[in-house]
Chain A
Amino acid sequence: EVQLVESGGGLVQPGRSLRLSCAVSGLTFDDYAMHWVRQAPGKGLEWVSGINWNGGGIAYADSVKGRFTISRDNAKNSLYLQMSSLTVEDTALYFCAKDVGSIARNLHCWGQGTLVTVSS
């Protein structure tokens, strides 16, 4: 069974940094691209970032470009999102998702999310 488990969320002050992790099991991790998606309370889905199977092909939403960094460690079956210069607008439930294939295009399996709250 494929499992994705996010961690690292919490309450953080504006301007600070936070690092999210996503532990993946039940599949050959380095066969697949990965994504981060967020959902603000009561709002729709917003794609944040994607990374291809080998760590290349990285892309970001304009709203986070220059502040967030996606990375993966295929040896540890893990995905990461380093978030800096956080603002209240970054408050959301952050999901990691596995792609259907090796290029970041479709989001197949999703974790349950980790909540990030940015507030003073």
Chain B
Amino acid sequence: QSALTQPASVSGSPGQSITISCTGTSGDVGGYNYVSWYQQHPGKAPKLLIYDVSNRPSGVSNRFSGSKSGNTASLTISGLQTEDEAHYYCGSYTSTTTVVFGGGTKLTVL
């Protein structure tokens, strides 16, 4: 159950777009369309942004989008806003019926 690989940090300016990658294996990201993305502000519970690779729950802005190619999933945030500054985690269902998270990416909005 190795953690998925995410960049430790990314940054962008308001209005720009950024992409966060999440790399796993054929036993998790590559093998199933059950990749999810979470946003966590300091001191708060995580919030689901994307599930099943590219689906948005009700109430989540369409500025957030997800995709997958092979063993790597991606979260794209368009029209970056200051309130997007947070930690972002990817998660994936695995071949052993567990869930594994990435190490997290800190997004800084400059």
Contact = CB atoms under 8 A, between A and B. Distances in A.
A contact residues, range:
20 to 34
B104 A45 contact: yes
A106 B91 CA distance: 8
Interface stretch (B10-18, B40-48, B76-84): B40-48
B61 interface: no
Nearest to A62: B1
Given A44-B101, A59-B97, A107 B46 contact: yes
B34 A47 contact: no
Interface stretch (A8-16, A18-26, A108-116): A108-116
Nearest to B35: A106
Contacts of B101: 37, 44-47
Given A45-B89, A105-B93, A108-B57, A60 B98 contact: yes
A105 B99 contact: yes
Contacts of A113: 45
Interface of A: 35, 37, 44-47, 50, 57, 59-62, 95, 100, 104-113
11 contacts: A35-B99, A37-B101, A45-B40, A45-B46, A45-B101, A47-B91, A108-B48, A108-B51, A110-B45, A111-B45, A112-B45
